[in-house]
Amino acid sequence: MRVVIAGGHGQIALKLERLLSARGDSPVGLVRNPAHVDDLRDAGADAVVCDLESIAVDELAG
């Protein structure tokens, strides 16, 4: 299952991304800071760099 997590670089989010990845899910973390992308990848998640306050729904959905 693909699971999207807003605030993907928080402590709980990083732990959740590791757990989801370990059980075979596909976690996606939303982050504002591009410097956090590698941390999400290390946790087994894909990262999407965006600002939820200003991004259009169509752009976020990809």
Q: What total of structural domains would you count in the chain? A: 1
> For each of the chain's 62 residues, which pLDDT tens digit applies?
999 999 999 999 999 999 999 999 999 999 999 999 999 999 999 999 999 999 888 877 76
Sheet holding 2-6, edge to edge: 2-6, 26-31, 46-49
Q: How far is CA 47 from the centre of its chain?
A: 5
CATH of the domain at 37: 3.40.50.720
Structural domain of residue 55, as residue ranges? Answer: 2-61
The answer for residues whose C-beta is within 8 angstroms of residue 7's C-beta and 6 or more apart is 13, 30, 31
Query: Quick one: CA dihedral 9, 15, 19, 22, positive or negative?
Result: positive
Mark out the alpha helices in the chain (DSSP H runs): 11-22, 37-42, 57-61
pTM: 0.89
